[in-house]
A and B are shown apart, each in its own frame.
Chain A
Amino acid sequence: MSGNEATADKVKALIEPFNKKGITLSHDTRFADDLEWDSLTVMDFVAEVEDDFDIIITMNMQAEIENIGQLIEAVDSLNG
């Protein structure tokens, strides 16, 4: 299950400015292994997502999120 389409579109749009390698994004794209983000980039990106959706993604939750699909699900559950 991959969350709703509106969330997916928004999340992908937020990723683009950080997608320096121009990787094609799918639900399976991984932040560390595919996008090659370091911890600093992750922090900046998470702050963007948090501000955009007005939610908090704790570091405990972040540790469980490896790919875009998981992030979309997490955002939807926090918004729900």
Chain B
Amino acid sequence: MAEHKDLLSKFDPLIKERETLLSTGVMDPYAIVMDEVKSPTEAICNGKETILLGTYNYMGMTFDGDVLQAGKEALDNFGAGTTGSRVLNGTYQGHKECEDALREFYAMDHAMVFSTGYLANLGIISALAGKDDYIILDIDSHASIYDGCAMGNAQIVAFKHNDVEALEKRLRRLPEEAGKLVILEGVYSMMGDIAPLREMVAICKKYGAMTLVDEAHSMGFIGENGRGVCEEAGVIDDVDFIIGTFSKSVGTVGGFCVSNHPKFEIMRLVSRPYIFTASLPPSVVATAATSIRKLMHSGNKRAHLWENSKTLHKGLRDLGFNLGTPEAQSGIIAVIVEDMMQGAMLWQALLKNGLYVNLARPPATPQGMTLLRCSLCAEHTAEQVQKILGMFEAAGTEVGVI
């Protein structure tokens, strides 16, 4: 009798790679536990005081007093969870208030809150583009975008990262009468670079394609009112849909889509990832709504975050690290290392010195790169940034990266 096939055997190469890496004695970079979190920028990891430089907590809202108070009140008044879908028993007053806050934040007509940012991309993309429609996307798009495309079974056309000409060539070749959705990101989260949205959105208009921009890593920080790269580039009124998340600048969890499309509200009845999952707990939407309203008036914090990002970028470049962008373009600074082994060594040396960053590897990263990804927070002090540079210098020298 034939032996039954073990469906997990397809993961053997990855299991072996991990065993090889861990057998050298380095810590598992994907199994770190935060024992205590003291502030948006500090935690206790493995009993050691650690500066957090890999949380996407750009605006430091996780411990904001007003945000916490709103969450506590909602927990007391509305309970721990909704136990229901947004379209059944899961829409509370707090979910509507959260959507009101988003409409105001973006000055748009419609807002739809999902349970995570991942689900927002899945839910909007899969509902918009079906089997006979074309989705034209940047090859370096986030996993949630690709998964949304697969779920909708759309025809996927990828173009070279941030290449305006490659986008235009593809739009020009597609059938004129076909439905087309171009998906772009404001900030690409691996390298921390921004998209040339002014040029790209103009081309989409020219070829009659609808546009969706994922502003997950720019909300609250980039643009005069923190509306993202679309705002900064002056094209926010030309974009059809903006996707965002509460798990970065907003400081909690959840996702959303905002739009001025007159038929947008029908999305609530056709988006499966909106319908077939429980809505966010009342405390979460209360913290999100409070945070979003405070982010409307955070010009000073935005300015300080830019300072932090520019200081860290220049400091790391001067130390001799290879960085993902020629200058600071967002709150993300990516340090490019040779391979997973060197990345894990540098990551561990930094952690031992008291600094946490993200170790990112393929397939999440572009071009097979291994990255130590740093994300800054408006709550990092100028002194902390200098301390971080000192830690990078020590660890980089120890591991032989610089």
Contact = CB atoms under 8 A, between A and B. Distances in A.
Do chains A and B interact in one complex?
yes
Contact of B157 (A38, A40, A54, A56): A56
B156 A56 contact: no
B160 A43 contact: yes
A58 B150 CA distance: 13
Given A38-B368, A40-B367, A43-B139, A59 B173 contact: no
Contacts of B170: 50, 56
B269 interface: no
A4 B48 CA distance: 67
A40 B368 CA distance: 8
B169 A51 contact: yes
Nearest to B131: A60
Nearest to B163: A47
Contacts of A50: 169-170, 173
A58 B173 contact: no
A55 interface: yes
B49 to A, nearest CB: 40
Contacts of B173: 50, 54-56
Contacts of A54: 173
- Interface centre among A40, A50, A54, A58, by most chain B C-beta atoms within 10 angstroms, is A58
A57 to B, nearest CB: 9
B22 interface: no
Nearest to B134: A58
Nearest to B155: A58
Nearest to A59: B156
B158 interface: yes
A54 to B, nearest CB: 6
Nearest to A78: B173
A60 B368 contact: no
Contacts of B107: none
Interface in A32-68: 38, 40, 43, 47, 50-51, 54-56, 58-60
B174 interface: yes
B342 to A, nearest CB: 20
B87 interface: no
Interface in B296-320: none
Contacts of A40: 367-368
A58 B169 contact: no
A78 to B, nearest CB: 10
Interface in B199-254: none
Contacts of B174: 56
A50 B160 CA distance: 13
B160 A47 contact: yes
A43 B155 CA distance: 16
B389 to A, nearest CB: 32
A59 to B, nearest CB: 4
Contact of B158 (A38, A43, A51, A55): A43
Interface in B169-208: 169-170, 173-174
Interface string B152-168: 00011110100000100
B216 to A, nearest CB: 22
A54 B155 CA distance: 18
Interface of A: 38, 40, 43, 47, 50-51, 54-56, 58-60
Which 8 interchain pairs have the tightest Cβ spacing? A59-B156, A58-B155, A56-B173, A58-B157, A40-B367, A56-B157, A60-B155, A58-B156
Given A50-B169, A56-B173, A56-B174, 14 more contacts: A38-B368, A40-B367, A43-B158, A43-B160, A47-B160, A50-B173, A54-B173, A55-B173, A58-B155, A58-B156, A58-B157, A59-B158, A60-B155, A60-B156
16 contacts: A40-B367, A43-B139, A43-B158, A47-B160, A50-B169, A50-B173, A51-B169, A56-B157, A56-B170, A56-B173, A58-B155, A58-B156, A58-B157, A59-B158, A60-B155, A60-B156
